[in-house]
Amino acid sequence: MQTHNLRSIAYLSLFGAEPVEQIEAAAEAGLDAVGLRVVAPLGLPLAHPIAGNPSLIRRIRDATHRTGVRVFDSEVLTLTRNTDVAEFVPALAAAAEIGSTYMQITSEDPEWLRGVDNFGKVCDEASRFGLRIALEFMRWRSVRTIEEAANFVASANRPNGGIVLDTLHLSRSGGSPLAVAKVPREHIMYVQLCDATETMPLTDDAVIAEARGGRLNPGEGSLWLKQLFDILPDDIAVSIEVPGAAPLGASVQERSHRAAKALGEWLARYRAREMDRLPPS
């Protein structure tokens, strides 16, 4: 039964906010941790890049010490056909400096073996910084499904390489709790939690739009979240990723409070359900 889970808030839930403001808002909402974006995703802008900004790194470290809220995961590296792993080192160093446990990575490399090889090299570089590399599969990437992600990670065979399990991406790539149950538990590093409507978007562009701004709070949609948690480790860390769930124009503080409340209430309902299923003593 899930009895204690580290509760974090993903970068997209507080998209656009300054990193220290994200940490302070998470602390006010009673969360344990935050996810921060240290470098811009491929082809997208980033208002507050952290890598290469020593002043901001110091302010982030000060904020984590002052509030007790840690940086859980950092975003985001992208493997491509032209990847030079050495170019990722500054981002890995920045993630380590701000205290991250995980660095997220995606693959857009159309050549599977080259992508696996570079993933392994990134893991090797990350190990020098004490980081773990969390592969995120998405329907529109080169690694699209939970099955492909499990194969990719297993092929690289690095002890600090694994999968971040995003419930929206699992659903929209045709996955299910049953598919997750077939993946070695040690390969599932943490969960990015949200809910979604039963209706599957028809195009990749629609899936991307939903992922970046149309997610629902857990319990507000039709995903099999309880069945998924039934098969996950009892203490798995949970990062709530719900861009679009708060009203348009909501402050970072309001977004953080709403997400924290939704996560806490869903976990409480799940734990109560599990208690009801226990045999009488």
**Tokens 């997209």, residue located:** 12
Structure tokens at 17: 């906010």
pLDDT tens-digit readout, 132-141:
999 999 999 9
> In terms of Cα–Cα distance, which of 80, 81, 83, 74 is closest to 126?
74
Confidence of residue 278 (pLDDT cuts 50, 70, 90): low
30 dihedral zone (left: phi>0; alpha: psi -120 to 50; beta): left
User: Can you say how many angstroms the Cα of residue 47 is from the centroid of all Cα atoms in its chain?
Assistant: 19
| SS (HEC) of 185-205 | HHHEEEEEECECCCCCCCCHH
- Residue 175's SS3 state is coil
Tokens of 113: 């073996």
The pLDDT confidence band at residue 181, using thresholds 50, 70 and 90, is very high
- Region 110-134: what's the mean pLDDT? 98
| Residue 16 near residue 47, CB atoms below 8 Å | yes
Summarised one tens digit per residue, pLDDT across range 52-106 is 999 999 999 999 999 999 999 999 999 999 999 999 999 999 999 999 999 999 9
Task: Give the model confidence (pLDDT) of 21-42 as tens digits.
Answer: 999 999 999 999 999 999 998 8
Which among 78, 73, 88 has a CA at the least distance from the CA of 128?
Answer: 88
Helix 146-156, helix 112-127: angle, nearest 10: 60
Q: Which of 139, 110, 137, 107 shows the shortest CA–CA distance to 121?
A: 107
Cis before residue 76, ω within 30 degrees of 0? yes
- CATH number of the domain at 7-277, please? 3.20.20.150
Q: What mean pLDDT do residues 114-142 have? A: 98
Look at 91 and 279; give whichever has higher pLDDT.
Answer: 91
Checking if the pLDDT of 1 tops 50, the result is no
| Structure confidence by residue, pLDDT tens digits, 188-224 | 999 999 999 999 999 999 999 999 999 999 999 999 9
pLDDT greater than 70 at residue 275? no
Q: What are the angstrom distances between the C-alpha of 119 and each of 91, 101, 198?
A: 15, 17, 33
- Location of structure tokens 């709530």: 240
Burial class (CB in 10 A: 0-12, 13-18, 19+), 247: exposed
pTM: 0.94
What does the alpha-carbon distance between residue 73 and residue 71 come to, in Å, rounded to a whole number?
Answer: 6
Both tokens of 214, joined, read 């149309």
pLDDT mean across residues, the chain: 95
Band (156; pLDDT cuts 50, 70, 90): very high
Q: Percentage of the chain with pLDDT > 90?
A: 91
> 114: helix, coil or strand?
helix
pLDDT > 70 fraction of the chain, expressed in percent and rounded:
96
* Interacting residues of 165 by C-beta distance below 8 A, sequence separation 6+: 146, 180, 188, 189, 190, 191, 192
Name the residue ranges covered by the structural domains of the chain: 7-277
- Partners of 198 in the beta sheet? none
- Exposure letters 76-85 (e unless 16+ CB within 10 A, then b): bbbbbeebeb
What is the distance between the alpha carbons of residues 133 and 107, in angstroms, rounded to a whole number?
12
